[in-house]
Amino acid sequence: MRTLQFGIEIETVGINRQALALAIHHVVAGTAGSPTMDPDGSWRATDTQGRAWRVVRDGSLSSGENSGEIVSPVLGYDDIELLQQIVRAVRTAGARTDDSTGIHVHIGARQFNAKSITNLVKTVHKQERLLEHALGVSERRLARYCRPIDPAFLERLEAHPPRTLQDISTAWYGRSNARPSRYDSSRYHGLNLNSFFFRGTLEFRYFNGTLHAGEVKAYIQFVLALAAKALRAKSASSKRREFNVATAKYDWRVFLVSHLGLIGDEFKTARLHLTKHLAGSAAWKGERRDRRPRNEPQPAPQAPATEGSDHHD
């Protein structure tokens, strides 16, 4: 997961595009120069490596000209800390998020073939109900901007296991599509493969808008780990896991730790942010049936054998 490249789009409201670009510029270039405006009205701040951080207009945002979408350059794992600094800077400058905003994470797909993309689709489909609840995805966004995996697409994958990327394309669009469009309607899914065929990235659109630097880091680590799992897996099951509110937090944490490898101190805050919307216990499956009298001291909860407890995440 540390070798994969990624990009991110962060939608904000509250301040205009120029102010967003200026806040980014102060982080990536200090006092040297200033952000510049492009002919289309977008702004860009160039960092010391020559990479452009763009702020573009997005008509779906609630604040009109006092809004903007931050579009990162291609980033690597070591750039996450810099990205967090940018998130904090734009928040300090007055940017905020609301129900109209979201976050999209793109993974560079050069290493992916038909098998690994199929693995990714099936893994996401299997865990999608848990994923949506864990991320607290709003009903509005689920209904329009990040719809679940299309059952017809999955049925086509299952009926005719793809051997080539062209097979994946035909299954995704339901037809041969030699010239995919950036604005194809199929892009409005939580896992967007139109992005793969149009620009060569796998796009994850499940995330609500946030300017919490820890949440942004958690989302990136989650997507990188999910992509890495798809690359290394020999196969994957698409049988959907039903959402059970009584066991959801435990089930999701097991997936994060045992299946995605988000274990240890490096991913401590990721586990916190990725499970905090779920009720119940992360350490026990369902309700504990302890027969001790109520006035007798209870033992401290024990974590699964694979890892220590996360009480202080």
Q: What is the per-residue pLDDT across 224-271, written as a single tens digit (0 to 9) for each? A: 999 999 999 999 999 998 889 999 999 999 999 999 999 999 999 999
Reported as a pLDDT band with limits 50, 70 and 90, residue 305 is very low
Each residue's pLDDT tens digit, 54-76: 999 999 999 899 999 999 999 99
Locate 15 and state its tokens: 């301040």
- 204 touches 190 (CB < 8 A): yes
- Asked if the model's pLDDT at residue 309 lies above 50, the reply is no
Reported as a pLDDT band with limits 50, 70 and 90, residue 290 is very low
Reported as a pLDDT band with limits 50, 70 and 90, residue 294 is very low
Give the start-to-end residue ranges of the domains of the chain: 6-113+136-232
Reported as a pLDDT band with limits 50, 70 and 90, residue 301 is very low
Reported as a pLDDT band with limits 50, 70 and 90, residue 287 is low
Q: DSSP assignment of 273-296, as one string? A: HHHTTS-S-SSSSS-----S-TTS
- Asked if the model's pLDDT at residue 303 lies above 80, the reply is no
Reported as a pLDDT band with limits 50, 70 and 90, residue 32 is confident
Return all residues near 234 (Cβ < 8 A) that are at least 6 apart. none
Beta strand ranges found along the chain (DSSP E)? 6-13, 36-37, 43-46, 52-56, 67-71, 102-108, 191-192, 201-208
- Higher-confidence residue of 291 and 152: namely 152
Identify any residues that bridge with 191 across adjacent strands, giving them in sequence order: 204
- How far is the C-alpha of 192 from the C-alpha of 73, rounded, in Å? 19
Q: Angle formed by the axes of helices 114-135 and 151-159, to 10°?
A: 150
Structure confidence at residue 45 (pLDDT): 97
Question: pLDDT averaged over the chain?
Answer: 91
Locate 127 and state its tokens: 């865990």
